[in-house]
């Protein structure tokens, strides 16, 4: 029905604001009937007519609508950007995830870049074979930019957590690795840097399938439009970002290597409390960075003394990490030479020496025991189910 018809039919359950608002909508699919929505909202109310809290986040009401089309079922998550809601698309009769951006100028501007990148990915991935989440819809509702995606299942951090942080089987890690590399290969081809690859941003398509997709391009950029220096979650942050050096898509391969190590171990391989210790964690396992990288760093005085030696600082538990005192095999608790070689290839100090997605796909660790894997489709295609999750006891 149209907005004018909806006003006549549902006048008694629409708020004062909605009575003025609904007539502007050519299609109305739901009005949040019986949801306990905010009713007495007037133009004099502050914070976006009372729909926002003091931080610019939307006051979510379960059962209410977004854009008179999406019925809110539950909250899926929350972050600095805003909220993610599980919604029922009444028009398509489909469960979706709606990313509701905070009503603040800088978040709105960054979300517009995310939408631009998502549209670009979808345009160049018409058959949905890249294992990167596809944009379904976008709209503006009560000054909030809303981005609609297919509804997914657990993220990889939740999978690790549900497995009691014991680490996953090598077979399952390989399946995840192949699919992530397909996504990273696509991003590299499109010259997009993800900038925040971590277990929370890789989701299972379904709870009983090993098909996955990379999500959240909210921090992403084209490689010729790099503007931010503070990017990537700390445990997955590449050394060039910490050192203040120019970066490119190779930072995503560093994050990818950290993710695979965590999937094997059950916890982060480089768990720095801050940037100082994060770099110390890297040096503890990988040794000192090449001198040319240190010399080029505009932040070297934070991490190195006047002689170019690393500053050794105790963390909150009094622990001091010293360079080259723990090899990767010991750090991971792993003796699989092919896997260790693969991780080392991702965790090179010099981004020019790091594996590219294409090179990683040809590495012996993936080639030795991997069967061709169909890409995740919009209908959650892929393997019929999860292979054994737990790795053998060491």
**Is 386 within the bounds of a domain?**
no
Structure confidence by residue, pLDDT tens digits, 212-245: 999 999 999 999 988 788 899 999 999 999 999 9
Asked if the model's pLDDT at residue 94 lies above 90, the reply is yes
Clarify whether residues 313 and 204 are in a common domain.
Answer: yes
Q: How many domains does the chain have?
A: 2
For residue 316, the domain's CATH number is 1.10.510.10
**Is 384 within the bounds of a domain?**
no
Q: Does the annotation count 52 as an active-site position?
A: no
**Is 375 within the bounds of a domain?**
no
User: For residues 169 and 388, is the Cβ–Cβ distance under 8 A?
Assistant: yes
Clarify whether residues 190 and 133 are in a common domain.
Answer: no
Quickly tell me which residue has 């957590």 as its tokens: 161
Note down the domain range covering 97.
18-150
Clarify whether residues 85 and 165 are in a common domain.
Answer: no
As a whole number of angstroms, the distance between CA 112 and CA 215 comes to 16
Tell me the percentage of the chain whose pLDDT exceeds 90: 85
Clarify whether residues 340 and 302 are in a common domain.
Answer: yes
Clarify whether residues 135 and 188 are in a common domain.
Answer: no
Clarify whether residues 90 and 121 are in a common domain.
Answer: yes
Clarify whether residues 279 and 345 are in a common domain.
Answer: yes
Structure confidence by residue, pLDDT tens digits, 301-356: 999 998 889 999 999 999 999 999 999 999 999 999 999 999 999 999 999 999 99
**Is 1 within the bounds of a domain?**
no
Of the candidates 196, 248, 336, 350, the residue annotated as catalytic is 196
User: For residues 185 and 129, is the Cβ–Cβ distance under 8 A?
Assistant: no
Clarify whether residues 306 and 254 are in a common domain.
Answer: yes
Clarify whether residues 43 and 184 are in a common domain.
Answer: no
**Is 299 within the bounds of a domain?**
yes
Hey, is 148 helix, strand or coil?
A: strand
Task: List C-alpha distances in Å: 230 to 217, 237, 238, 245, 289.
Answer: 15, 10, 11, 11, 20
pLDDT recorded at residue 227: 77
Asked if the model's pLDDT at residue 368 lies above 80, the reply is no
């Amino acid at each position: 029905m149209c907005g004018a018809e909806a006003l006549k039919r549902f006048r008694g359950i629409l708020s004062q604001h909605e009575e003025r608002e609904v007539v502007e909508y050519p299609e109305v699919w739901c009005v949040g009937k019986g949801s306990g929505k905010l009713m007495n909202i007037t133009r004099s109310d502050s914070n976006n007519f009372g729909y926002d809290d003091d931080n610019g986040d939307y006051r979510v009401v379960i059962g209410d609508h977004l854009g008179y089309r999406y019925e809110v079922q539950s909250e899926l998550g929350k972050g600095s950007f805003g909220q993610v809601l599980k919604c029922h698309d009444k028009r398509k009769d489909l469960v979706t995830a709606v990313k509701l951006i905070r009503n603040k100028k800088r978040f709105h501007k960054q979300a517009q870049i995310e939408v631009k990148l998502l549209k670009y990915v979808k345009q160049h991935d018409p058959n949905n074979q890249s294992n990167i989440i596809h944009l379904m819809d976008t709209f503006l509702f009560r000054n909030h930019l809303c981005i609609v995606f297919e509804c997914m299942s657990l993220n990889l951090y939740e999978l690790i957590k549900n497995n009691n942080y014991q680490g996953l089987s090598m077979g399952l890690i390989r399946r995840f690795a192949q699919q992530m590399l397909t996504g990273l290969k696509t991003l590299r081809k499109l010259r997009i840097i993800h900038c925040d690859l971590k277990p929370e941003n890789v989701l299972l398509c379904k709870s009983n399938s090993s098909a996955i997709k990379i999500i959240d391009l909210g921090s992403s950029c084209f490689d010729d439009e790099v503007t931010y220096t503070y990017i990537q979650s700390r445990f997955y942050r590449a050394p060039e970002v910490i050192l203040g050096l120019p970066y490119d898509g190779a930072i995503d391969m560093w994050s990818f290597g950290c993710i695979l190590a965590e999937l094997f171990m059950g916890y982060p391989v480089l768990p720095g409390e801050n940037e100082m210790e994060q770099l110390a964690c890297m040096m503890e396992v990988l040794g000192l960075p090449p001198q040319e990288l240190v010399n080029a760093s505009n932040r070297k005085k934070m991490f190195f003394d006047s002689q170019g030696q690393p500053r050794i600082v105790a963390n909150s538990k009094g622990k001091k990490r010293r360079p080259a005192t723990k090899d990767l095999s010991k750090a991971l608790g792993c003796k699989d030479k092919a896997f260790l070689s693969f991780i080392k290839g991702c965790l090179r100090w010099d981004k020019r020496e790091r594996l590219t997605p294409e090179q990683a796909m040809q590495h012996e660790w993936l080639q030795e025991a991997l069967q061709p894997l169909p890409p995740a489709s919009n209908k959650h295609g892929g393997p019929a189910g999860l292979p054994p999750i737990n790795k053998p006891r060491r």
